[in-house]
Amino acid sequence: MTRPPAFSDSSPSLFDSDEAPVQPLKFGRLPSYIGDHRKRLRERFMQGGPAALPDYEMLELVLFRANARQDMKPLARRLLQRFGDFNGVISAPRDQLLEQHEVGEAVVCELKIIEAAAQRLARARIMQRPVVSSWDALLDYCHTAMAHRETEQFRVLYLDRKNVLIADEEQGKGTVDHVPVYPREVVKRALQLNASALILVHNHPSGDPSPSQADIDMTAQIEAAAAALGLSLHDHIIVGRSRELSFRSEGYL
């Protein structure tokens, strides 16, 4: 089913219209105004870091690599208007990106390289480290990997006796509001990995991390199955669009 566009043609723009209409560029030397603009953006980024640039200019820096001869500001702003923010753009599904005007495989490839790099960096910060001392990094990783997914995903983080993360595995994918989870398979895998504790993680594509009754019941089933084998369930984290919910912190565990 094709989704209606998020904004109609009559919707007010999120940005001031300060750029000239996009015109195809002829082959040859890059126009100086584009080259100078790109140079200034790179200098500001190198001097001030990401905080020195708003989302649309950060996105421009990424898009430069996909099209060396075009002013990428209009495209950057359209993508942000469609997908909300920088994270939403780089996490958007390939098919939805390709539906956008002037987005081809080169643009999608550059965006997905950034997404993969962000996930790999976030994962490296938590693997083989005690979870207690890297909890914020763990939440950052979960958010980076799952917050913008359009279907539910269920992951299990397996810990050793020192609460060091030894494995991060996807246990299932589902629909927009359900993912099948099998407690027996979760604890069976823990035994195979010689794990001592678990952290469950899944996302809510709706953006609201509040647990459903099914989430609460499933967590109780896994906790009981784990306890029967001497395993601890440390937490169940639900990832929303802008925040996460901890079962332990909220008193569900």
Within this chain, do residues 152 and 238 fall inside the same structural domain, yes or no? yes
Any domain includes 79: yes
What gap in Å lies between CA 220 and CA 201, rounded to an integer? Answer: 14
Any domain includes 12: no
pLDDT for 214-237, tens place per residue? 999 999 999 999 999 999 999 999
Within this chain, do residues 138 and 83 fall inside the same structural domain, yes or no? no
Within this chain, do residues 139 and 239 fall inside the same structural domain, yes or no? yes
pLDDT class of 21 with cuts at 50, 70, 90:
very low
Within this chain, do residues 115 and 162 fall inside the same structural domain, yes or no? no
DSSP letters, the chain, are -PPPPSS-TTSPPSS---SPPP-PPPSSSPPHHHHHHHHHHHHHHHHH-GGGS-HHHHHHHHHHTT-TTS--HHHHHHHHHHH-SHHHHHHS-HHHHHTSTT--HHHHHHHHHHHHHHHHHHHHTTTTSBTGGGHHHHHHHHHHHHTT-SS-EEEEEEE-TT-BEEEEEEEEE--SS-----HHHHHHHHHHTT-SEEEEEEE-TTS--PPPHHHHHHHHHHHHHHHHTT-EEEEEEEE-SS-EEEHHHHT--
The answer to whether residue 25 scores a pLDDT higher than 50 is no
Within this chain, do residues 135 and 54 fall inside the same structural domain, yes or no? no
Any domain includes 148: yes
What gap in Å lies between CA 206 and CA 246, rounded to an integer? Answer: 17
Within this chain, do residues 84 and 163 fall inside the same structural domain, yes or no? no
Domains contained in the chain, number? 2
Within this chain, do residues 55 and 72 fall inside the same structural domain, yes or no? yes
Within this chain, do residues 84 and 169 fall inside the same structural domain, yes or no? no
What gap in Å lies between CA 100 and CA 92, rounded to an integer? Answer: 11
CATH number at residue 221: 3.40.140.10
Tokens of 183: 């407690």
List, edge to edge, every strand of the sheet that includes 197-203.
Answer: 165-173, 153-159, 197-203, 232-239, 244-246
What gap in Å lies between CA 101 and CA 74, rounded to an integer? Answer: 11
Tell me what the pLDDT averaged over the chain comes to.
Answer: 83
Domain boundary among 120, 150, 171: 120
Look at 12-26, 133-147, 167-181 and tell me which has the smallest mean pLDDT. Answer: 12-26
Within this chain, do residues 190 and 92 fall inside the same structural domain, yes or no? no
pLDDT confidence of residue 98: 93
pLDDT for 57-110, tens place per residue? 999 988 988 887 778 889 999 999 999 889 889 888 899 999 998 899 999 999
pLDDT confidence of residue 248: 93
Range of the domain at 87: 32-120
Domain boundary among 94, 120, 146: 120
Look at 54-63, 134-143, 170-179 and tell me which has the smallest mean pLDDT. Answer: 170-179
The answer to whether residue 15 scores a pLDDT higher than 60 is no
What gap in Å lies between CA 215 and CA 129, rounded to an integer? Answer: 28
* Contacts (Cβ under 8 Å, ≥6 apart) of 230: 196
The residue ranking higher by pLDDT, 40 or 34, is 40
The answer to whether residue 20 scores a pLDDT higher than 70 is no
Within this chain, do residues 89 and 175 fall inside the same structural domain, yes or no? no
pLDDT confidence of residue 200: 96
pLDDT confidence of residue 87: 86
Within this chain, do residues 156 and 237 fall inside the same structural domain, yes or no? yes
Within this chain, do residues 137 and 114 fall inside the same structural domain, yes or no? no
Closest-CA residue to 41 (of 30, 28, 52, 29): 52
